Amino acid sequence: MVVFLDTNVFLHYRRFTEIDWLAVAGERQVTITFPPITLRELNEKKDGGASQKIKRRAQAALMDIERLFRSELRATIREGVFGECITSEPQIDFAAHQLRTDIQDDWLIASVLEQKRRDGTQHYVLVTADLGLKLKCRAHKIEVLQLSDDLKLPEEEDSEAKRIRLLEAEVLALKSTIPELSLSFVDGTSLLRLSFKEEMPFDERNAIELLEEAKRTHKKLRVREESSAEPETVSMQVAKFLEQLHGYHPEDAKRYNEDLEEYWGCFIENRKKQHAYENYLRRSYPIKIGVSNDGTAPADDIVVHMHFPDGFFLCEKNEFPEAPDLPAPPDLPLKPSEKWQNLSLPVAYPSNLAALRDAPVVARMDAKRSLRIRKTNSFDVDFKVRKLNHGFTEELNEMILTLNAPATRTSFQVDYEIHAANLPKPRRGSLHIVIE
């Protein structure tokens, strides 16, 4: 029987010189073959193994091979067990056998196929525990043999692995006493989904109908003509007096009519401003974000920095533009009789003036800390918290995000960075907003 060994056999099992290959193979004679790929892989493990343990085992295997073939390329390992070193690379067509030259396992399979091609009378076996290599061997009709677990080397922790384990334990101990800061939306997630609202076109026809209705409701006043001639009779004098008393003064009526003309003239334009603001509201979305401490220690002197991309306007809720004033129609002027009636009304004064005078002045305090929003090509938002106990969340002031017109469905990412006096390095993360 001719046996090829997977490189992992040298690294995870007893030394090949110590294994009873006749018992393992159930044969009277076994030849262990060492192709170039096996020596290359062992050299790679010796120089760049994942651990000192692997490096030492690869070095030991190479030394055993070197001692075995010190004078000849075929040597005796023990009674009935021989070793043969192959110095030439396989010459078979890799592509024709569905093999790739950039895969090391394929070089080992190619070496077996090459030997079978040269001498088909022998019984060839590849020893491996690698499932991927086993499946490839079956595809190429190469018999596979797996060593029993009692031949495996005991798991031992090398000095490098031990050092890493101790360092990891130390880091874990340090991390257990530091804050763990992150940003999230008010529902505790990093993803905010918002419903897109279509803008509405301005209804010019409806605005004209409303204007006509306003003109029917608020009519102009008749301007009384003043006459310098004295009434001829007493009854005419009384009639003139009553008309002046209960009618509108000509100047008041003229001023009212002028105000009414101005109201009608701006009516459509004011409706357009109101409609534009309503569309502005449709493009606006409230954004509520909080900073949370999920660690095991309070965080001190926290500074949060967020970066929003462009494509919209961002402001605090208390800085959001107010709705435009929709002018009301002018009030009717007072008639002389109404003016005299108002003059005769008693003036009511509060009975507790002293209490009002001595009432304490209460300063309005904003429960939340203020944000600092800076407009660059995009938006940078800064927020500070003096202290945040573990297990708590500090909610930032509500912000309003308004999409630029014309608005479209969009999604974007908000990158953030959190600094704290007792954090060794800043925490970085991202929030995601989807408007759909």
The answer on 128 and 25 residing in a single domain is yes
362 is a domain residue: no
Provide the percentage of residues in the chain whose pLDDT is more than 90: 63
Please say whether the beta carbons of 373 and 307 come within 8 A: no
The pLDDT of residue 344 is: 56
Do 309 and 195 reside in the same domain of the chain? yes
| 162 contacts: CB under 8 Å, gap ≥ 6 | none
Output 240 or 419, whichever has higher pLDDT. 419
Distance CA 403, CA 283 (A): 5
379 and 407 fall within a common domain = yes
- 238 versus 47: the higher-pLDDT residue is 47
Structural domain boundaries, residue 432: 176-199+283-335+368-436
Report d(CA 255, CA 55) in Å as an integer: 102
Which of residues 263, 282, 301 is at a domain's end?
282
- Residue 11's pLDDT is 92
pLDDT of residue 42 exceeding 90: yes
| pLDDT tens digits along 172-185 | 766 667 899 999 99
Domain-located, residue 216: yes
Residues 375 and 421 in one domain: yes
Cα angle, residue 134 at apex, residues 28 and 95 outer, rounded to 5°: 110
Q: Are residues 259 and 288 in the same domain?
A: no
What average pLDDT does the structure give for the chain?
86
Position 367 scores a pLDDT of 40
pLDDT score at 162 = 75
pLDDT digits (tens, 9 = 90+) for 338-373: 666 666 555 555 555 455 455 444 333 344 456 899
Is 343 inside a domain boundary? no
Residues 204 and 316 in one domain: no
Q: Is the domain of 275 the same as that of 289?
A: no
Predicted confidence band of residue 326 (pLDDT cuts 50, 70, 90) = confident
Residue 170 covered by a domain: no
Do 182 and 299 sit in the same domain of this protein? yes
Q: If residue 29 lies in a helix (H) or strand (E), which one and from where to where?
A: none
User: Domain with 78 in it: what CATH number?
Assistant: 3.40.50.1010
Report which of 414, 435, 418, 436 is spatially closest to residue 426, judged by C-alpha positions: 418
Let me know whether 211 and 259 are in one domain. Answer: yes
List, for residues 226-285, the tens digit of each pLDDT value.
655 565 565 655 555 555 555 678 888 888 888 899 989 899 999 999 999 999 999 999
Long-range contacts of 82-89 (CB under 8 A, 24+ apart): 82/29, 82/30, 82/31, 82/32, 83/31, 83/32, 83/33, 83/34, 84/31, 84/32, 84/33, 84/34, 85/33, 85/34, 86/33, 86/34, 86/35, 86/36, 86/111, 86/115, 87/36, 88/36, 89/36
Q: Are residues 192 and 317 in the same domain?
A: yes
Is there a single domain that holds both residue 239 and residue 275?
yes
Q: What is the pLDDT of residues 115-142, one digit of tens each?
A: 999 998 899 999 999 999 999 999 999 9
Look at residues 248, 282, 316 and tell me which one is the last residue of a structural domain.
Answer: 282
In the chain, the number of structural domains is 3
* Residues 23, 77 within the same domain: yes
For residue 337, the model assigns a pLDDT of 65
